[in-house]
Amino acid sequence: MSIGVIGAGRVGSVLGAALQRAGHTIQAAYAVSADSRERADELLPGVPLRDVPEVIDGADLVLLAVPDDALPDLVSGLAATNTWQAGQIVVHTSGRHGAEVLRPALASHILPIALHPAMTFTGTALDLGRLEECAFGVTCPDALRPMAEALVVEMGGEPVWVAEADRAAYHAALAHGSNHLVTLIAEAMEVLTAAGVDEPRAVLGPLVRAALDNALRLGDGALTGPVARGDVSTVGTHLHELERISPEIRATYVALARATAVRALESGRLQPSAAEPLLDTLADQEPQ
Q: Where are the chain's structural domains?
A: 2-162, 169-283
pTM: predicted TM-score of the whole model, two decimal places: 0.88
Contacts of 22 (CB under 8 A, 6+ apart): 154, 155
**pLDDT at res. 283:** 87
Task: Decide: 177 and 119 in contact? Cβ < 8 Å.
Answer: no
Query: Taking all residues of the chain, what is their mean pLDDT, rounded to a whole number?
Result: 95
Q: List the CATH code of the domain at 2-162.
A: 3.40.50.720
| Dihedral sign for Cα atoms in the order 163, 164, 166, 170 | positive
Sorting pLDDT into bands at 50, 70 and 90, what band is 287?
A: very low
The counts of H helices and E strands in the chain are: 13, 7
Residue 284 in this model has a pLDDT that exceeds 70: no
CATH code of the domain occupying 169-283: 1.10.1040
3-state secondary structure of 89: strand
Residue 285 scores a pLDDT above 60:
no
Name the strands in the sheet holding 2-6, side by side, starting at the edge strand that comes first in the sequence: 25-30, 2-6, 61-64, 89-92, 111-117, 135-139, 158-161
By percentage, how much of the chain surpasses pLDDT 70? 98
Contact present, 275 and 260 (Cβ < 8 Å):
no
pLDDT in tens, 67-121: 999 999 999 999 999 999 999 999 999 999 999 999 999 999 999 999 999 999 9
H or E element in which residue 4 lies:
strand 2-6
Binned at pLDDT 50, 70 and 90, residue 133 comes out as confident
- The letter for the amino acid at 62 is V
Structure confidence at residue 257 (pLDDT): 96
Q: Where are the beta strands (DSSP E) in 65-121?
A: 89-92, 111-117
